[in-house]
Amino acid sequence: MTCEICTEPYRVTLEHRFSCTFSKVCACRPMGYVLEAAMLLFCLTCTVVMMLLVGPSLGDGESSSKLTVWTLFGITVLMALVALKKIIGR
């Protein structure tokens, strides 16, 4: 490597330092996508488990409240799946 103006060679010493810290790993874009997907899957799993636990007790209540809860559950699952597809598509 030489200077473009005076054509003197550069005296360069290259040092390679490897540092793997938690903040650098989490700041990495692909790792951020993985964390987003993991959080989304966790929330989706919690929602499904909640509906499995709450769903049977809805049978005794009003049909309008049952329909409302299942509609909200369906919308939540649909939105989570769309978001997951976008994350995986990145």
pLDDT digits (tens, 9 = 90+) for 11-24: 888 777 766 666 66
pLDDT bucket at 61, cuts 50 / 70 / 90: low
* pLDDT value at residue 78: 81
Mean pLDDT value of segment 36-40: 78
Q: Higher model confidence: residue 70 or residue 90?
A: 70
* Angle subtended at Cα 37 by Cα 31 and Cα 79, rounded to the nearest 5 degrees: 145
The mean pLDDT of 27-48, rounded to a whole number, is 75
The CA-CA-CA angle for residues 23, 31, 16, to 5°, reads 60
Compute the average pLDDT of residues 34-55: 78
pLDDT in the model for residue 19: 67
The span from the CA of 79 to the CA of 82, in Å, is 5
Closest Cα to residue 47, out of 69, 21, 22?
69
Tell me the domain boundaries of the chain.
29-89
